[in-house]
Amino acid sequence: MKIERFEDIIAWQKAKELTIAIYSLFKECKDYGFRDQICRAAVSIMNNIAEGFERQTNRELKQFLFIAKGSSGEVRSMLHLASELNYIAVHDYKLLREHTIEIAKVLSGFIQKL
């Protein structure tokens, strides 16, 4: 199946879900620097997938997918911190952490196919 739009990419769909969850979970967080950073990192995952796809070359798409994968790691790292600082419940931490791991795996598979 040929992907015609970035919205069709499973990793982008999962990254969008993660971004919405991150924004919702941290909207009341008073640590504005932390909140802004984790939100930016989440948005970076989906936006790098979109930007890479729109470049229309496999080489550039691959480069942007690696950046998106890195941003997924950044979100996961910040989730560890959020949990340790008691900004989020353990349940939310585990759920979102698994989501970032899943996104990274999907991105790795996509990169391998390219």
More confident residue, 1 or 90: 90
Query: Are 46 and 75 spatial neighbours (Cβ–Cβ below 8 Å)?
Result: no
Query: Are 69 and 114 spatial neighbours (Cβ–Cβ below 8 Å)?
Result: no
Quick one: how far is CA 26 from the chain centroid?
A: 15
The enclosing H or E element of 38 equals helix 32-54
DSSP, res 7: G
What would the CATH number be for the domain defined by 6-113? 1.20.1440.60
User: What's the chain's length in residues?
Assistant: 114
Residue 1: its pLDDT value, please? Answer: 67
CA distance 67 to 54: 15
pLDDT bin (cut points 50, 70, 90) of residue 2 is confident
